[in-house]
A and B are shown apart, each in its own frame.
Chain A
Amino acid sequence: MLFSPFISKPDNVSQIMLKVLLALLPGIALYVWYFGPAILVSITLASLTALGTEALMLRLRNRPIAPFLKDNSALLTGWLLALSIPPLAPWWLIVVGTAFAIAVAKHLYGGLGNNLFNPAMVGYAVLIISFPMQMTHWIAPHGLGQIELGFFDQLEYIFLGVLPHNATLDAITMATPLDTLKTHLHLDQSVQQILDMPIYGQLAGHGSEMVAWGFLCGGLYLLATRIISWHIPVAYLGTLFVIAGIFHLLDPGHYVAPLFHWFSGAAMLGAFFILTDPVSSPTTNKGRLIFAAGAGLITYLIRAFGGFPDGTAFATLLMNICVPLIVLYTQPKVFGKKSPKDNPVHKEGRP
């Protein structure tokens, strides 16, 4: 009863984040269906680490713990990281990545709302640079691996690092569809030949393309509930499609079709869940278009010409750096002023 407005919309951060977590469920379900339950283990590990690190950091920074733990934002960071790295990896991989994401990328930047970079993607970048080997062992989808591990075998590998006596790591894992494409292109095979390999499905990787469909569905739910706006997914996927399309038309033997790019790697996850992180993306609609188009372009360049198999994470981080500048130059026209140029911000600048 201190000051107006005295009413507010029944909505809060924790509900928003919860809806984003829910929107990840279709993708996760398909993940389990095609690749087995290992992903659930890494999501659990990521969740526990995220909450633990969050609590610890809040304690160290002398902040109230309960309201922030309840906001679900740490959980989301953990889940996104878990979904970005191979699930069948030693337990400490996801723990180290998540802890780094929360402690450094989030809290050292000032905690919720203040991070310049997407914490999950910082975690991913740290892992791929520090532990490149572990980051390449992706589980083969059902029916494609030479041997399939049961759930307890997977647990044993994750926590103890032991495989059943008849299995080798190579026999149960394989390179990702994007990775395989890149390697074989280097061997001078044509796209058509490569896509005939059994690991490819209708549009992209067998199994992983279905997971991407799952994320697309979840993303549409986020759009429908207006948790995200259309600008980032449309500009990101659109740019990726157009650039991939141009290269594909020029040389179909060497450049794979645009839909392949949509449904492989972290493109769908990135378009709807990662790039759309409100804290580290622009606040203006025009800015969002520029930001996401830039990320689409960088993703393609890394995938087609760079040293890493996927580019979504690095594209996100690179574009995160540009956000303050993009926001400054895409200020909308204020009511009663003639044009955005009328706003004196262009003369004054912004942090």
Chain B
Amino acid sequence: MEISRVLIDNEKMRTLYHFHGGIHPPSNKSQSTQVAIARAPLPSRLVVPLHQHAGEAAKPIVQVGDHVLKGQLIGMPDGFVSSAVHAPTSGTITAIDMQLIAHPSGLPNLCATLIPDGKEEWIPHKAIDYRDHSSAELQQLLRMAGVVGLGGAAFPSDIKLRIGKQKITSLILNGAECEPYITCDDMLMRERAAEIVQGAEMLRFMLDASEVLIGIEDNKPEAIAALKQAIADRGMNHEVVAIPTIYPGGSAKQLIRVLTGLEVPSGKLPTDIGVQCFNVATAYSVYRAFAQGEPLLSRIVTIAGNVRQAQNYEALIGTPIDELIALGVALPDTNGYIMGGPMMGIPLPAVHVPVVKATNCVIAASDRLFPPPPPALPCIRCTRCVEVCPADLQPQDLFWFAQSKEFGRAQAFSLFDCIECGACSYVCPSHIPLVQYYRFAKSEIRAREHDKQLADQARERHEYREHRIEREKQEKADKLAAKEKAAQAAKLNSLQQPTPQQQAELADLEAHRAHIRELAQSGVEHPED
């Protein structure tokens, strides 16, 4: 009796929920989990993009020729949604110019080039006890530590912690890692579980969440065991939940659904239903930022695919990817590289582009691993795509509308609820590059709405200015009246101004609106975020 009760206490049974669709592509994960994470050697040079996160680029605050220390701020967050960028090691800045980076747009971006001096000389930094600080202070610290989501979308974490008055019930840590080939989170959980669970506690503290759920796909028993152990060792009550292995089970909305049964309403944020979701690696960076005072300088990158030895490396941000690939030794028939997984990754424009905060995996590609698809046939309306769509869409209809450029209809059929997971393309027997059509339609619609938005914003600004002038006038008049009154009453302290509290409220409101706008524009959510 006694024993069974204890068991039940330890193994809380949680009802898991189901989301529609999903696929089971070959996972190809075991190749890169045979050996432990290795620290990549210091590269010959580091190219650190100033824009590696969602939102505004950081502003460079160093100059060519400057000597910088490891962890020194080189890019200042600029704008509400933005994040800091640091020197990953000590050395000299030799260039600040436009360079090719891994980005779907394929456009060059402003980067700082750093030649390491090999000393790894740290800037002074110190740990803090997060319990001594307010949530707002901690958010600012994370922003200045450059902590962003490491699942792939690189959304600044401080923004996701700004929840206003919303009550957060569940903090969800995403350790699902559903994409084939990628194992960086798996290995991190196996090897650094203690740090992750403490990072989770820090996130929980900032959100004041009632429970912490760590969702991990059941194809990672070692990671599940390691986290359970780390939690038990500390007597925490975070809950590790093994979830069914299915792609895209690691997509934030799908994971939330599986763990809580709740659906994030279309166009809303998880916080609107009392849930917030962070990647396990993000929790790890939060831990490093607070408990060790270290900004985000490196991350775990899986090197896999057409290489002699697939493995995970802890690589400095800015490491040229070719230097990492060289560690795994690409096979001779390699004909390209993918950043991310084979379902949602992007082809690298060149192999020398740098590792960024969003680089979870680099796959060497070959025709053997990724045979070029046969020519597409027309859609036969077989609805295999419908059967696998996790967003419950009608991919064949969206395809039809995108193809015939009926964008209004595409939107009416919920095009923007598509998470671009690629499950539909994966199963299509006609080999239609469906997701590509959706991306095209979305960008077309965004471009069209952009002009309209600009006009709207101009109008909004104009109205706001009018409003402000009006208000200032009013305030002046009030002040004058008050002054007169005061003079009449011959009293002191008659100045009337908006109280600091009112000012703070206004700023908060404006920030919130900017946030929402940002989110609406950033569009797609990354499955691993």
Contact = CB atoms under 8 A, between A and B. Distances in A.
Given A3-B347, A5-B343, A335-B19, A13 B377 contact: yes
Interface in B326-381: 335-336, 338, 340, 342-347, 365, 370, 372-375, 377-381
Interface stretch (B201-209, B314-322, B426-434, B494-502): B426-434
Contacts of B265: 336-338
Contact of A334 (B381, B392, B429): B392
A160 interface: no
A11 B336 CA distance: 25
A113 B380 contact: yes
B377 A112 contact: yes
Interface in A63-116: 64, 67-68, 71, 73, 111-114
Contact of B426 (A7, A338, A347): A7
A198 B172 CA distance: 72
B20 A335 contact: yes
B378 A12 contact: no
Contact of B365 (A3, A6, A114, A335): A6
B393 A13 contact: no
Nearest to B336: A1
Interface in B227-266: 253, 257, 263-266
A165 interface: no
Contacts of B263: 335-336
A9 interface: yes
Contacts of A284: 386, 394
A8 B431 contact: yes
Given A337-B266, A337-B414, A4 B435 contact: yes
Contact of A4 (B344, B379, B394, B408): B344
A332 B383 CA distance: 13
Nearest to B370: A6
B178 to A, nearest CB: 13
Nearest to B305: A6
Given A12-B431, A343-B413, A334 B347 contact: no
Contacts of B393: 334-335
Contact of B394 (A6, A331, A335): A331
A279 interface: yes
A1 B380 contact: no
Given A334-B266, A343-B412, A13 B380 contact: yes
A189 to B, nearest CB: 45
Contacts of B375: 64, 67
A68 B342 contact: no
Interface in A11-50: 11-13, 15-16
Contacts of A113: 377-381, 430
B390 interface: yes
A283 B391 CA distance: 16
B20 A6 contact: no
Contacts of A350: 397, 409, 413
Taking residues whose C-beta sits less than 8 angstroms from the other chain, chain B's interface range is 35 or more
A347 B412 CA distance: 8
A71 to B, nearest CB: 6
Contacts of B509: none
A202 to B, nearest CB: 36
| Central interface residue in B19, B381, B409, by most chain A CB within 10 Å | B381
Contacts of A332: 392, 394
Interface residues of A, number: 44
Contact of B370 (A7, A347, A348): A7
Contacts of A132: none
Contacts of A347: 412
Contacts of B342: 4-7
B443 interface: no
Contacts of A143: none
Given A9-B427, A12-B431, A348-B409, A112 B391 contact: no
A283 B266 contact: no
B90 interface: no
A82 B378 CA distance: 25
A341 interface: no
B410 to A, nearest CB: 10
A218 B429 CA distance: 21
A87 to B, nearest CB: 28
B72 interface: no
Contacts of A16: 380, 382, 429
B436 A7 contact: no
B426 A5 contact: yes
Interface in B179-211: 180
Nearest to B422: A5
B92 interface: no
Contact of A7 (B343, B378, B408, B412): B343
B412 A2 contact: no
A334 B412 CA distance: 11
Given A334-B391, A337-B265, A3 B436 contact: yes
B345 A7 contact: no
A279 B396 contact: no
A150 interface: no
Nearest to B247: A5
A344 interface: yes
Nearest to B23: A9
Contacts of A325: none
Nearest to A71: B377
Question: 4 closest pairs, A vs B, by CB?
Answer: A113-B378, A5-B422, A348-B412, A336-B266
16 contacts: A6-B342, A6-B370, A8-B425, A9-B23, A9-B25, A9-B426, A12-B431, A113-B430, A114-B378, A283-B381, A283-B394, A335-B391, A336-B263, A336-B265, A337-B266, A344-B411
Interface of A: 1-9, 11-13, 15-16, 64, 67-68, 71, 73, 111-114, 278-279, 281, 283-284, 331-338, 342-345, 347-348, 350-351
Given A13-B380, A342-B266, A350-B409, 11 more contacts: A7-B25, A7-B426, A8-B428, A9-B426, A16-B380, A331-B413, A334-B417, A336-B391, A337-B417, A338-B265, A351-B409
